[in-house]
């Protein structure tokens, strides 16, 4: 923890409706003073950063990350994943439970916190799994894991196909308040699929997954949330139908929140032809009409948050071809410039709306004490140059894996420096 003084920046704190040029002071790792709130401090020992022309936002939160530790340390570790997060402007990440072993007991939640305390560059908030070992036939001790610090529950990677178990999980959510984060793909409709079902899958002769595979589970889970009063969070929305179902659910007063990932509003399934396995993920890249619906959902608030679904895999794993390669792409280091290039610059979201979707809104969904620049809050700050043009350079990545379809892309609007509890994080190595 240290002191820091950021001057001349455009202070942007959506939770407090602040958007004004000024200064921000962090003392002992906490926000101590923000432009306009009383008498300015006189920093003597603080690190001073001039943020003239830059946006000074709360430290960004990525609510959907696969850190792969324990069990898959050849792909990523808590150390390398959070280093990549820090480079990407994130000060907090929430990590999924599909590790080996699966994070399905209170002790394993505590182990994630222990490893993070030792090795992580950002704050780490673990999810526990909904079902034991992600098998889908028996609920975990969610009550115990919640007490141990789980911020929500997810079988991400797979869908809990047993509707009665989902009902029971959402019933406990209604009692205790945590979110149930759902990966929505009907397994039978999705069997063998390696991409979206459509023109491109037919052309390539690959098995595709229909939009209905996602829409059916989103519809079911919204009904179960409505029935139980639980908090449903739909992960990585990829279809126009899911957006509309979530919109209708919200209108009926169902406690449903949702997130979308950059690849689902930037790329279509045509990308599979160009990029092969770096365009293979679940749910898959869809079509332009799905992209249009997701952007409209982000714009009107149907989709609450932006998350990456950072899913690192080694080059050897991704080289196995479309039929055998694992699903997913890295996302932590490219999220901010994709948000600014594809959502803010075209006018779909204001800067403040975009920041809210990566700060205060995910913090509220997870119930974590982050995502604002309120006096007394954690001194987590992300500074963004909305005009900076840069190329995605995977050789400078701090993730262990570089499975991104965005390598070499020129993007406009980048994170420039990041503080966690007043300390600079996410400094890139000069080269590798």
Cβ distance to Zn ion smaller for residue 108 or 183: 183
Q: Nearest approach, Cβ of 352 to Zn ion (angstroms)?
A: 28
Cβ distance to Zn ion smaller for residue 183 or 313: 183
d(CA 298, CA 247): 11
Q: Which of 13, 155, 221, 309 is catalytic?
A: 309
Stretch of 74-82, 150-158, 192-200, 244-252 contacting Zn ion, by CB under 5 A: 150-158
- Hey, what's the torsion of the CAs at 28, 33, 35, 37, to 10 degrees? 170
- 309 carries an active-site annotation: yes
Q: Nearest approach, Cβ of 235 to Zn ion (angstroms)?
A: 5
Stretch of 22-30, 47-55, 153-161, 384-392 contacting Zn ion, by CB under 5 A: 153-161
Q: Nearest approach, Cβ of 259 to Zn ion (angstroms)?
A: 10
Closest CA to 246 of 274, 210, 222: 222
Cβ distance to Zn ion smaller for residue 156 or 269: 156
Cβ distance to Zn ion smaller for residue 233 or 250: 233
Q: Which of residues 177-206 bind Zn ion (CB under 5 A)?
A: 183
Q: Nearest approach, Cβ of 63 to Zn ion (angstroms)?
A: 12
Quickly tell me which residue has 């894991």 as its tokens: 145
| Start-to-end C-alpha separation, the chain | 29
Cβ distance to Zn ion smaller for residue 75 or 183: 183
Q: Nearest approach, Cβ of 51 to Zn ion (angstroms)?
A: 36
* CB within 8 Å of 154: residues ≥ 6 apart: 96, 97, 127, 129, 130, 180, 181, 182, 183, 235
Q: Nearest approach, Cβ of 331 to Zn ion (angstroms)?
A: 12
**Token pair of 5, please?**
């003084």
* Beta-bridge partner residues of 25: 5, 33
Cβ distance to Zn ion smaller for residue 121 or 156: 156
What φ, ψ does residue 240 adopt, rounded to 5°? -60, -40
* Beta-bridge partner residues of 247: none
The reply on whether position 155 binds Zn ion by CB under 5 A is no
Which one of residues 69, 156, 259, 385 is an interface residue with Zn ion (CB under 5 A)? 156
Residues assigned a catalytic role: 309
Which residues contact Zn ion (rule: CB under 5 A)?
156, 183
């Amino acid at each position: 923890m240290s002191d820091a003084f950021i001057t001349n920046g455009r202070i942007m704190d959506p939770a407090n409706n602040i958007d004004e040029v000024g200064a921000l002071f962090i003392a002992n790792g906490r926000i101590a003073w923000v432009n306009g709130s009383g008498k300015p401090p006189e920093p003597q020992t603080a690190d001073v950063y001039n943020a003239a022309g830059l946006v000074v936002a709360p430290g960004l939160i990525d609510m959907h990350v696969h850190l792969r530790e324990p069990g898959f340390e050849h792909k990523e570790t808590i150390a390398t994943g959070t280093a990549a997060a820090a480079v990407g402007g994130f000060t907090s990440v929430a990590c999924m439970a599909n590790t080996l072993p699966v994070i399905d007991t209170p002790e394993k939640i505590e182990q994630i916190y222990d490893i993070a305390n030792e090795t992580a560059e950002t704050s780490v908030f673990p999810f526990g799994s909904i079902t034991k070992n992600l098998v889908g036939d028996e609920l975990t001790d969610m009550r115990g894991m919640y007490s141990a610090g789980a911020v929500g529950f997810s079988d991400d990677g797979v869908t809990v196909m047993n509707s009665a178990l989902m009902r029971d999980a959402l019933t406990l959510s209604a009692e205790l308040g945590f979110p149930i984060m759902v990966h929505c793909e009907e397994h039978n409709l999705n069997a063998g699929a390696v991409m979206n079902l459509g023109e491109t899958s037919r052309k390539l002769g690959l098995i595709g997954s229909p939009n209905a595979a996602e829409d059916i589970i989103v519809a079911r889970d919204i009904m179960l949330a409505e029935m139980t009063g639980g908090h449903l969070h739909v992960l990585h929305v990829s279809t126009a139908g899911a957006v509309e179902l979530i919109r209708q659910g919200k209108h009926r007063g169902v406690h449903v929140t949702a997130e979308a990932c950059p690849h689902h509003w930037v790329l279509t399934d045509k990308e599979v032809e160009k990029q092969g396995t770096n365009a293979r993920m679940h749910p898959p890249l869809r079509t332009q009409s799905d992209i249009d619906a997701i952007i409209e959902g982000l714009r009107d608030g149907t989709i609450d948050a932006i998350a990456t679904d950072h899913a690192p895999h080694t080059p050897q794993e991704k080289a196995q071809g479309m039929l055998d390669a694992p699903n997913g792409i890295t996302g932590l280091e490219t999220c901010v410039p994709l948000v600014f290039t594809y959502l803010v610059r075209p006018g779909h979201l204001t800067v403040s709306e975009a920041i809210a979707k990566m700060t205060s809104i995910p913090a509220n969904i997870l119930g974590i004490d982050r995502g604002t620049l309120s006096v007394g809050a954690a001194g987590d700050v992300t500074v963004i140059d909305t005009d900076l043009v840069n190329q995605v350079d995977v050789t400078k990545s701090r993730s262990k894996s570089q499975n991104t379809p965005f390598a070499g892309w020129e993007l406009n609007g980048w994170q420039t420096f990041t503080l966690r509890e007043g300390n600079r994080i996410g400094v890139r190595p000069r080269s590798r």
